[in-house]
Amino acid sequence: MLKNVKIIAVLLAGILLSGAAVAQSKVAVFNLQAAIMSTDAAKSKVNALKTSSEYSKLQSSAESIRDEVKKMAEDAQKNGMTWSDDQKAEQQRKMNFKRSDFETTVKKLRAMETQVGQEIQKEMAPKAKAALEALIKERKLDLVMDANSAFYAGPNIDLTAEVVKRMNADKK
């Protein structure tokens, strides 16, 4: 019995000491993608894309096609009862073509956005890493987790905004 009490006491001491060690650890969270995309440089590149003539034309085209499909659907619902089966089939075929055009246009827009996003990530990732490493050294952090993986993180341990500030200040 006394042996069991000693074992339990040793285990409790170990748990308490490990808890004390964890309590002294400095932990933070960080979201790399959010930091990069929040920088002035990234916002500028995204804005340049969205205001480019090619992107604007594609976006206008997508909106126009979407409006056409909507009008066609409204017309079919309004007048479809009086149409022959051939007319209904023709209307459905036209709507399918327009939907396909819309989807293709949207895919082109997303491809352009993805390309710019990848360029931004490639260019800015080393700067983000350098800023994060400097913060880790300054704060003497023991652990930095991905903010998306953390169940909860208070605002005082999220390094994302501070990394953005440093990246914006570093105009290299």
Higher pLDDT, 113 or 15: 113
More confident call, 49 vs 24: 49
What mean pLDDT is reported for the chain?
Answer: 87
| 3-class DSSP state of 25 | coil
Q: 9 vs 147, which has greater pLDDT?
A: 147
Contact, 29 vs 143, CB < 8 A?
A: no
Contact (CB, 8 A) for 94 and 30: no
Band the pLDDT of 151: cuts 50, 70, 90.
Answer: confident
pLDDT at 106 over 50: yes
Q: How does residue 162 score in pLDDT terms, banded at 50, 70 and 90?
A: very high
Q: What distance in Å separates the CA atoms of residue 128 and residue 164, rounded to the nearest whole number?
A: 8
pLDDT of residue 23: 56
Other beta carbons within 10 Å of 41: 16
Q: In whole angstroms, what is the distance from residue 49 CA to residue 119 CA?
A: 12
CA dist 43 and 37 (Å) reads 7
pLDDT at 8: 58
What distance in Å separates the CA atoms of residue 143 and residue 147, rounded to the nearest whole number?
12
Q: How far apart are the first and last CA of the chain?
A: 69
Decide: 146 and 33 in contact? Cβ < 8 Å. no
State mean pLDDT over 9-20: 51
Q: Which helix (H) or strand (E) holds 66?
A: helix 53-79
Asked if pLDDT for residue 77 goes beyond 50, the answer is yes
Residue type, 77: Q
Which pLDDT belongs to residue 63? 96
Please give the model's pTM, rounded to 2 decimal places. 0.72
3-state class (DSSP) for residue 38:
coil
Q: Is there a contact between 59 and 109 (Cβ–Cβ < 8 Å)?
A: yes
Give the whole-angstrom CA distance, residue 101 versus residue 24.
Answer: 59
